[in-house]
Structure 1
């Protein structure tokens, strides 16, 4: 008894849509690769080539699974699903042969998807046959469906959502959840953008595309980027905005210690936690060692003591205890950051003087200098103790 075609299509499950889309893409790609000016036509359709290459492993798996089921269940040869499988299989073979033929000068990779990406590189490396303007060349080199471009845009979406809104004064402009998103987006955006710029350097034989785009990076992007270069400029703009804003934020709170790129995600989460509780510790881990974490804690406490009186409830003695504890954590650290912290502590001591007037604690610009600290006070806990004595 024959099986209804609709039932056979249901047996394909979710593979039917994938195979029908692949049939259309294979037809278009076969027509492009078989033409006389195939390179020029392929440059105008690199997004199609990349999309076919991206889903090729899924298509191969779907073809194999559906073919095994059709053979096991004896699907009729004239049914629509079987005709679809036969046509997709035939078109796949035709595209594979065309790709191999166009890669005649080099040995094609064994996998069809990798062979398509190799063909893309070969086409881009040769440059336009009839020449092209700079922006048109950028569009060719940066198709919209590049994985690196998608990653850069995903990171830019996080940056734009946070830093496009008005920044509140004196508080962090993001929540704990947003700090975690920033921590993931920063390295993602950096790696993706670096890869995109390297792609431009590799395939731009004129050497004009990257300088051309570099001049546009700091321009506010349009509301709806569409082409690959526009997406790159949009992502690069918001990545730069995020780096500048975060740099200003970290400098205001952690100066004179300079945060390294890999430390920023951990520091952002810690700063958010400190908004709720000044007692929140910066835990040591793979990114931050014990001494380095203590150095950041020392820097933020010293910055608070050096500025005007904090608003709201504030316990001065507790602040000195935190400063002392952080100094002990960081006492074995060495390097430029430690030297800058020592200099900041020495400056704090010289500006404070010995006075019982509470306001003087928060007015270093009006306090007379005192004699320099002796050379025996070189370790961080000793300097913190001297600062505490000078501030009384």
Structure 2
């Protein structure tokens, strides 16, 4: 028994909505491609062309699946689902023929979706007519449905939500969950924005559109973005602000070590964990070697000791033990960051020995103090754990026995 038409449409499920939307897109795109000034029409409707191109793999799979099922179950040819299927297939062939006719490349893509994206490249390569404004060109080059634009906007939403709100002085602007979001959003935004700026360079040989947008990107967004260029500017602004805030935060908490940008994602969660427990360790990873992680732990402890005495219970002796344990971990490290840490410890030994420092490790004006001259007691040891031990002794701790981890 042949099922009634309503049942046939129900069997299509959500594929009926896909086929109906595809029918409307095919009709509109075919008209654009048949127009006399078809390049101008396509340039003004690149979002439609990309919608068809991006959905084409799913549409092809749906057409094939529905056709097999209709043949197997004997659906009537005059039923509404079969009429929809037949019209979508006819329009697909018409669009494919128009695309084949308009493409000038000698080697044309076999798949319709790829052919549509190739046609987009050729239209943008042809350039705008004389007198076109820069903003209009930017809108054409950056349609809103670019995958890279969507990725950049998703990352920017995270940055805006976390860094837009006010925070107390010295407090982290995010919790553990938000730190993880920021950590994952950073590389996404970096890759997406790089691809978008490269797209502008690709289709604007003069460079005027990019220069125009880069100048506007310095301004804070004042209204919700709508067009493709506005979405790019919005994402670029919040990405830049997030990077500036993170750089300042890491410099404050890890001075004098300068964290590398590829280390930022690894450090965010650890800094949040240190707010809960000072015993939190920074794990080694593909980005952070064991020694480098220890070096950053030393920097974090030094920065914490140089700040104003914290509120509530605080064990200074335990802080010195953590500092020495981290120094043991970083014993094999070399480079300018290690030298800056050594210099900071030597500076403390010198000033503490002369009774010129406050109860904390360093004063706020430490950058104005002279460098430690050679031959001072601080130069008698060169390894990081030894310098930490000397600093502890200079702070007035007992000399008997050495610190243990």
TM-score by length of 1: 0.95
1:387 aligns with 2:386: no
SS in 2 for 1:215: helix
Distance change (3 Å), C-alpha of 1:366 and 1:389: farther
Alignment correspondent of 1:285: 285
Distance change (3 Å), C-alpha of 1:340 and 1:106: farther
Q: CA deviation at 1:207?
A: 1.6
Runs of 4+ residues over 4 Å off in structure 1: 365-371
Distance 1:155 1:105 in 2: 36
Distance 2:103 2:5 in 1: 40
Distance 1:184 1:161 in 2: 15
1:45-60 alignment runs, 5 A limit: 45-60=45-60
Alignment correspondent of 2:235: 235
Measured against aligned partners, the alpha-carbon deviations of 1:236-264 in whole angstroms (never above 9, x if no partner) come to: 00001100111110000001111122211
8 Å Cα contact 2:49-2:116 kept in structure 1: yes
Q: CA deviation at 1:390?
A: 1.4
Measured against aligned partners, the alpha-carbon deviations of 1:22-60 in whole angstroms (never above 9, x if no partner) come to: 000000001101111111000110000111111111000
Alignment correspondent of 1:96: 96
Measured against aligned partners, the alpha-carbon deviations of 1:212-258 in whole angstroms (never above 9, x if no partner) come to: 01111110112211000000000000001100111110000001111
| Deviates most, 226-235 or 285-294 | 285-294
Distance 2:273 2:221 in 1: 34
Alignment correspondent of 2:344: 344
Distance 2:73 2:197 in 1: 52
Distance 2:379 2:350 in 1: 14
Alignment correspondent of 2:198: 198
8 Å Cα contact 2:135-2:209 kept in structure 1: yes
Alignment correspondent of 1:272: 272
8 Å Cα contact 2:179-2:268 kept in structure 1: yes
Paired residues, what number? Answer: 391
Distance change (3 Å), C-alpha of 1:39 and 1:315: same
Output the aligned Cα RMSD.
1.9
Q: CA deviation at 1:288?
A: 1.0
Distance 2:359 2:63 in 1: 80
Alignment correspondent of 1:127: 127
Measured against aligned partners, the alpha-carbon deviations of 1:286-322 in whole angstroms (never above 9, x if no partner) come to: 2211001101100010112223222221111100011
1:73 aligns with 2:111: no
Q: CA deviation at 1:206?
A: 2.6
Distance 1:366 1:5 in 2: 83
Q: CA deviation at 1:358?
A: 9.8
SS in 1 for 2:13: coil
Alignment correspondent of 1:316: 316
Distance change (3 Å), C-alpha of 1:36 and 1:310: same
